[in-house]
Structure 1
Amino acid sequence: MKLMIVDDHQVVRQGIANLLRSMIPGIEVTEAENGQQAVTQYGPCRPDVLLLDMGLPDISGLEVGRRVRQRWQGAAILFFTMHDELPLVRQALDVGSMGFVSKSCAPEELAEAVKRVASGQPYIEHAIATRLAMNSERPVDYRLKDMTQREMEVLLMYARGDNVSGIAEQLCISSKTVSNHLALLKSKLQVGSSVELIHLAVDAGLVRYGQRGAGQRS
């Protein structure tokens, strides 16, 4: 089995690699430290599973998943992230991923998820699957339900600290389109300012203060 781990923290990548090598005999692991690198390396590597973090330093895991699935429709993507808000889980599944597990899951569950996805079976962490089935969401989640994938992408990047021109460049869209997305987001999410928009993203667990200077513009 070939696995590609996409995470911006080297110690996390190496820790996961060592863990899975001890639990899955014969597994071959490659690593990528950001989204662009993952998309570039995916073709030559063609891993059986793409283990993908959500909060990457350039484009988010959602955009990586979208780009990989557009070019390689059979790509088996398993999100492995600290974010477990249900709207974000649904967005991950909507881009075509086959699984979703949080970084708080047990090592055995991560290994099981990797093996299941590699064999073509979907896998969602038990606790998250239960919340999805029961539609049990945190109080702030209701405002995120109707966001499109692109709106979620823009919100994640903006709240993380990217400015309008930077978001436009990374998503290959115009700055005007990004500004329009942000204006619509404020209306849809019922907030009156950019600061409130960032606070909502933080409160929902989509980003956290200190993550690449969340909310800081350059």
Structure 2
Amino acid sequence: MKLMIVDDHQVVRQGIANLLRNLLPAVAITELDAGLDAIARYGSVQPDVLLLDMGLPDVSGLEVARRIRQRWRGAAILFFTMHDELPMVRQALEVGGMGFVSKNCAPEELAEAVRWVAAGKPYIEHPIATRLALNQERPVDHRLRDMTQREMEVLLMFARGDAVSRIAERLCISNKTVSNHLALLKSKLQVESSIELVHLAVDAGLLRLGQEARAGRA
């Protein structure tokens, strides 16, 4: 089995790789720390499973999945991330993810998820799958429920500190379109300022504290 791991935290990425080498002895692993690198190298590596973080320093995991699935319709993408809010899970599945597990899952469940996705079968971490089945939202989720994939990507990048021009460049859209998305987000999410958008992203678990500064230096 060939596995590509995309996570910008070196310690986390290497720890996952070592863990899966022990649990999946026949696995060959490619490690990458950025989304654009994953897109550029996917065709040459042709992994059986792409293990993809959501929050990357260049483009979001959602955008990586969308672009890869546009070019390689059969790509088997397993999201592995700190984000377990149901709107994010739904967005991940809508862009073509075959699986979703959080970084709080047991090592054995991660290995099982990789096996399932490699076999072409969907896999969602059990507690998340239960919440999806019961449609259980956390209190802040109701404001995120109707967001589109593009709006979620713009929110994540903006909350990390990316300028409008940088977001536009990464998503291949115009500055005006990004500004329109941000204005619509403020209305849809019932906030009045840019800082409130950032606070909402943190409160919803879409952004870890300190991630803005790290992304700004990337």
Fold equivalence (TM over 0.5):
yes
Report what 2:164 is aligned to: 164
Report what 2:39 is aligned to: 39
Letter in 1 for 2:191: V
| 1:186 matched to 2:186 | yes
Aligned-pair distance for 1:11? 1.4
Question: What CA distance in whole angstroms lies between the structure 2 residues aligned with 1:129 and 1:68?
Answer: 25
CA contact (8 A) 1:159 1:214 kept: no
Describe the superposition over 1:7-50 as per-residue Cα deviations: whole angstroms up to 9, x where unpaired.
00111111111111111121110011100000001000000000
Give matches, 1:59-70, under 5 Å.
Answer: 59-70=59-70
How many residues are matched? 217
CA contact (8 A) 2:49 2:114 kept: yes
Identity score, percent: 77
Report what 2:200 is aligned to: 200
Structure 1 regions of 5+ residues with no counterpart? Answer: none
Structure 2 residue matching 1:54: 3-state secondary structure:
coil
Segments of 4+ moved more than 4 angstroms: 214-217
Report what 2:55 is aligned to: 55
Structure 2 residue matching 1:213: 3-state secondary structure:
helix
Q: TM-score, normalised by structure 2?
A: 0.97
CA contact (8 A) 1:202 1:209 kept: yes
Q: TM-score, normalised by structure 1?
A: 0.97
Describe the superposition over 1:136-155 as per-residue Cα deviations: whole angstroms up to 9, x where unpaired.
11101001011010000000
Give matches, 1:11-160, under 5 Å.
Answer: 11-160=11-160
Letter in 2 for 1:75: A
Q: What value does the CA root-mean-square deviation take over the aligned residues? A: 1.4
Question: What CA distance in whole angstroms lies between the structure 1 residues aligned with 2:25 and 2:215?
Answer: 43
CA contact (8 A) 1:198 1:215 kept: no
Letter in 1 for 2:188: K
CA contact (8 A) 1:207 1:214 kept: no
Describe the superposition over 1:111-137 as per-residue Cα deviations: whole angstroms up to 9, x where unpaired.
000000000000000010011111111
Aligned-pair distance for 1:212? 3.3
Letter in 2 for 1:34: A
Structure 1 residue matching 2:213: 3-state secondary structure:
coil
